[in-house]
Chain A
Amino acid sequence: MNQRIFTLFTTLLVLSCFQPVEAVEVGDKVPDCLLTSISDLQHFELKQLNGQKVLYLDFWASWCSPCAQSFPFLNDLNQGLKEKGLQVVGINMDQEPGESKAFLAKFPANFPVYSDIAEKCATDFDVKVMPSSYLVDRKGIIRHVHFGFRSGDVDELRTLVDQLLAEKR
């Protein structure tokens, strides 16, 4: 009997270490999130952009050096393809608001940057690393998930964005 109780407790202990998360995958509808603008603290819902534009959602944090490397690429992407229907959205995950502002002073962004204060957005997207990028088509479907950022990723990402922009509405 005691051994049974012991086994039960041990099983509970092991199971408690795993936290199942409903991860978004390619082909899923983009989760809706409530975000807060870093510049004017206005609230913004992701669904406002759904069905209108191709979205490049980038989760980043000031302490992550690949995030800093990705900013010139994101600026170029937003600048060059905005007219064609692309919207780059930066979602900052810093826990201290001052850190993101200092980062943006050093690496300015020409695309809107929001903060996920409640951390719900990152949880819903099941963000695994910093930075994590999600490409969403005009129908609001996640078409590509990209973890991390290396200079060699630029061509692949640009090609994927071009493909989504070329798709019919």
Chain B
Amino acid sequence: MKIPQALWLVVSLVLVLSVSGCSSVAPWQRGVLAKSQMALDIYPVQSTFKSHIYNSREAVTGNSSAGGGGCGCN
């Protein structure tokens, strides 16, 4: 199958334009990223506690990552 020349040009143009998105963040520029509100889970203790309650209630472990039958055997 012959790919049209226009398509090659468009793909190349997109690649060239996306180069501008490549930049490295220096270690000393990570102050904002280090803030607690930037964390994926801003309340880790509360999440662990909720997970514990959920595990106990559902009688399974690893409820969020592994399957469990709810038989109370794992």
**Chain A interface residues (CB < 8 Å from chain B):** 2-3, 5-6, 9-10, 12-13, 16-17, 19, 59, 61-64, 93-96, 99, 119, 122-123, 127-130, 132
Contacts and interface: CB of A to CB of B under 8 A. Distances in A.
Contact of A64 (B8, B26, B29, B34): B34
A122 B26 contact: yes
Q: Which of B5, B12, B18 has the most CB of A within 10 A?
A: B12
B35 interface: yes
A113 to B, nearest CB: 15
B65 interface: no
A99 B39 CA distance: 20
Interface in B3-50: 3, 5, 8, 11-12, 15-16, 18-19, 22, 24, 26-31, 34-35
24 contacts: A2-B5, A2-B8, A5-B8, A6-B8, A6-B11, A6-B12, A9-B12, A9-B16, A10-B15, A12-B16, A12-B19, A13-B18, A16-B19, A16-B22, A62-B31, A63-B34, A93-B28, A95-B31, A96-B31, A99-B31, A119-B28, A122-B26, A127-B27, A130-B30
Contacts of A132: 27
A63 B11 contact: no
Nearest to A94: B31
Interface residues of B, number: 19
A17 B22 contact: yes
A50 to B, nearest CB: 24
A19 B29 CA distance: 16
Nearest to B22: A17
A129 B8 contact: no
Contacts of B8: 2-3, 5-6
A62 B8 CA distance: 49
